[in-house]
Amino acid sequence: MKDKIIHKASEMFITLGFKSVTMDDIANELAISKKTIYTHFKNKTELVHEVTMNMFELISHGIDCICDLQKNPIEELYEIKKLVMVHLKNEKTSPQYQLQKYYPEIHEALKAQHYKKMSECTLRNLKRGVAMGLYRENLDIDFVSRIYFIGVNGIKDEALFPVHQFPKIQLFEDYLEYHLRGIVTNEGLKTLNKFIKTTVHNA
């Protein structure tokens, strides 16, 4: 039952926001009593923590699986972006913003985990890209990986990028292209252009 609660709460938090969804809402969706939820989670904060960490582990596992395939580094980044969008696809709410505002301690813990995971993945990606001649060899990869992390988090700020003006899927697409255009070689640009054309064609 605990896993069912986490799964349903995850869907509702992502779709409607962490603040908007109550324990009563989750209980009603699962057709159980609120008391049943409290036998597994002492309060909503504990449930939010479990949900966010579970989501992080789920996405991290997916990213590991993509990285294990050792694809072209540019393709790898597009596959990771696609995976993240599947999990965070809703464009009408900002779970990240609500988490930061109403559960700051959980948000900071998640951000630290996110940085560690993303840093490892990005550094490997950059090193492989340079070795394959797809990224410029004079890159300061530690600097680039940190700037990329700041950007990925920065575009989630709805005060700067309101959803009605910058739909999330397109925003992530634009930022990834922006990031790659700054680091690719002429050879890497050929590969990047293929993905840009594919994206435009499928839009």
Confidence of residue 201 (pLDDT cuts 50, 70, 90): very low
- Residue 202 has what pLDDT? 52
- Residue 93 has what pLDDT? 58
pLDDT > 90? residue 164: no
- Ramachandran area for residue 35 (φ above 0: left; ψ -120 to 50: alpha; else beta): alpha
* CATH architecture type of domain 49-202: Orthogonal Bundle (1.10)
Of 93, 81, 95, 83, residue with least CA distance to 170? 81
Q: Domain-by-domain residue ranges, the chain?
A: 49-202
Q: pLDDT for 82-116, tens place per residue?
A: 898 887 665 555 677 788 889 999 999 999 999 99
pLDDT > 80? residue 157: yes
What sign for the dihedral angle of Cα 115, 121, 123, 129?
negative
- Residue 92 has what pLDDT? 55
- Residue 203 has what pLDDT? 47
- Residue 163 has what pLDDT? 82
Calculate what percentage of the chain has a pLDDT beyond 90. 73
Cβ–Cβ under 8 Å, residues 148 and 122: yes
Q: pLDDT for 22-76, tens place per residue?
A: 999 999 999 999 999 999 999 999 999 999 999 999 999 999 999 999 999 999 9
Mean pLDDT over residues 190-195, rounded? 92
Q: Which residue has the higher pLDDT, 18 or 88?
A: 18
Q: Please report, for the chain, how many H helices and E strands are present, in that order.
A: 10, 0
Residue with tokens 């990329």, as numbered in its chain: 148
